[in-house]
Structure 1
């Protein structure tokens, strides 16, 4: 018996990648509105009431509108926007951190942000274990492929071959910061410095740690061991192998749904760099949504994922 999945916003980058991961699966029947009906409120409402599951690939305001359209339906919703990531009544769709059972039994799931996925994967387990303090003013530096910015940014990068680096959120207050703080249990919002580079996909998220100044912080070895044990059973999140003297993010990165973590440190252990590498369109967006859908529908967790 198959389940029916409605992708609201299927024409966007995230929606297209989700549809690709779900297509050809006998246990899933996709419900996608054509161009003439995809913005029609009545057609969308009917789709919500006809589907078992809905995945929202929409801007924040449109996602809130979609939830209102689905009111009264039995449909279970995964929202890939920022709208509900710290909202009451929504389960955060990061099963490795919040628990697989929590996601599996949820009716409303908010997909994590791409940058947030890397930061939370590194920091949340270490804070919870007492290996990092919850009251430290963390900084997070990150670069992403331009595909995460949607069609307008994709077009800008592909038409202007002179862009080498695009720093943004220069006034701070990036939309991922609230979930980064909340999901890691931090007393102080992290200072987040994101940038976009001329690669279609791929992402590196880094958290530098001046350990000698951090009262009560664990050693780099203890952090590495804890993260390895914490994610030992995960088919998606892994500790990366020692890359030697450099870590590379290639322009021609293949699509993938894995999340790779690293702990680098100075010889004396006084400083460390926590690094996460992922596909911003994979575990950072579409892959995460499909993983949550699989759990919610009682299907194999990694079905349709590229691992």
Structure 2
């Protein structure tokens, strides 16, 4: 029997992307609530309780409400909001985070889809702390640029209305209280939140993130080759991984360092650059904020939960 999947919030940016990826699947039955009933709690409860898997593409408060409307012990949930990312009883939906994370997701009733920005940081830092190359109390800075689709319908409308007049490099979260900070701290294994300075660019989707590392003050200073090997080994251990690590190269610039280079795929590519004489390094990540950063990750998690090949419906 086909698994029944209900996308609560399917008219939003992430919901539409998920539905597009699942539209041709014969192993799924997509059940959709009529447009006029989308804000009716009783109607939503009916669909949520009929689904084998409910995917929530909603603001945080609405996502919590949807979970509360589920009265059975059979509906499994993937929440694309930030409401449950560090909540007890929820598996974190970054399948390549650890070698056993895919199995944890596959067995879970509740999965919190990761945020787009946290994935680049987690992929860059967690392997280094786990390998003992960075201490957990290290001070980490994190910045980068993302397409404006990450801001949802409102930001999309604003940028598309402004066209070429829109800001090409717009820093935000300048109060340093971004809602992703608890998630970043929890899953990087850091003891303190990073200094996070995100930026929006005047293009639709795709992102590039940067973790600069001043290593000179560490008790034991790792080389660039050691950093690269630890990250490469970490992700090589995960089967069917969508995370790839570029070769360690001595470059001043590279064309593949384009935030839009992996658009329309579920890949996340990591690059390590280092100057051992200066004891400095940088870890860069390139991925699609609507792919691996959102809807692609949700489909990957759905595949794991249903016991099908996790690459199904996902462009590598």
Q: Partner residue of 1:274?
A: 283
- Aligned partners of 2:89 and 2:126: how far apart in 1? 21
- Aligned partners of 2:133 and 2:233: how far apart in 1? 14
Quickly say closer, same or farther: Cα 1:251–1:209, change in 2 above 3 A: closer
Q: Which moved more, 1:191-200 or 1:206-215?
A: 206-215
CA displacement at 1:253 relative to structure 2: 6.3
1:148-194 residue CA offsets vs partner (Å, 9 max, x unmatched): 10011011111112221111101011111111101122111111000
1:57-91 residue CA offsets vs partner (Å, 9 max, x unmatched): 00000000000011335100000000000111111
Q: Partner residue of 1:149?
A: 151
- Aligned partners of 1:206 and 1:259: how far apart in 2? 13
TM-score, normalising length: structure 2 = 0.93
Residue correspondence of structure 1 range 157-176 to structure 2 within 5 A? 157-160=159-162, 161-162=164-165, 163-176=167-180
Quickly say closer, same or farther: Cα 1:250–1:137, change in 2 above 3 A: closer
Quickly say closer, same or farther: Cα 1:95–1:253, change in 2 above 3 A: closer
SS at match of 2:244: strand
1:256-300 residue CA offsets vs partner (Å, 9 max, x unmatched): 110000110125261000111110001100000110110010010
**Is 1:240 equivalent to 2:242 in the alignment?**
no
Q: Partner residue of 1:203?
A: 207
CA displacement at 1:218 relative to structure 2: 2.3
1:13-51 residue CA offsets vs partner (Å, 9 max, x unmatched): 000000011111110111121211112111110111111
Contact 1:48 1:73 in 2 (8 A): no
Contact 1:198 1:251 in 2 (8 A): no
**Is 1:220 equivalent to 2:229 in the alignment?**
no
SS at match of 1:166: strand
CA displacement at 1:147 relative to structure 2: 0.4
Give the root-mean-square deviation of aligned CA atoms: 1.6
CA displacement at 1:254 relative to structure 2: 3.6
Residue correspondence of structure 1 range 100-179 to structure 2 within 5 A? 100-160=102-162, 161-162=164-165, 163-179=167-183
- Aligned partners of 2:126 and 2:229: how far apart in 1? 15
**Is 1:45 equivalent to 2:45 in the alignment?**
yes
Contact 1:140 1:207 in 2 (8 A): yes
Residues matched between the structures, number: 307
CA displacement at 1:214 relative to structure 2: 2.4
* Runs of at least 5 residues in structure 2 that lack an aligned partner in the other structure: none
Contact 2:210 2:283 in 1 (8 A): yes
- Aligned partners of 2:268 and 2:36: how far apart in 1? 37
Quickly say closer, same or farther: Cα 1:86–1:252, change in 2 above 3 A: closer
- Aligned partners of 2:129 and 2:42: how far apart in 1? 46
- Aligned partners of 1:95 and 1:251: how far apart in 2? 22
Quickly say closer, same or farther: Cα 1:264–1:252, change in 2 above 3 A: closer
SS at match of 2:36: coil
- Aligned partners of 1:138 and 1:253: how far apart in 2? 25
- Aligned partners of 1:250 and 1:126: how far apart in 2? 23
Contact 1:133 1:217 in 2 (8 A): no
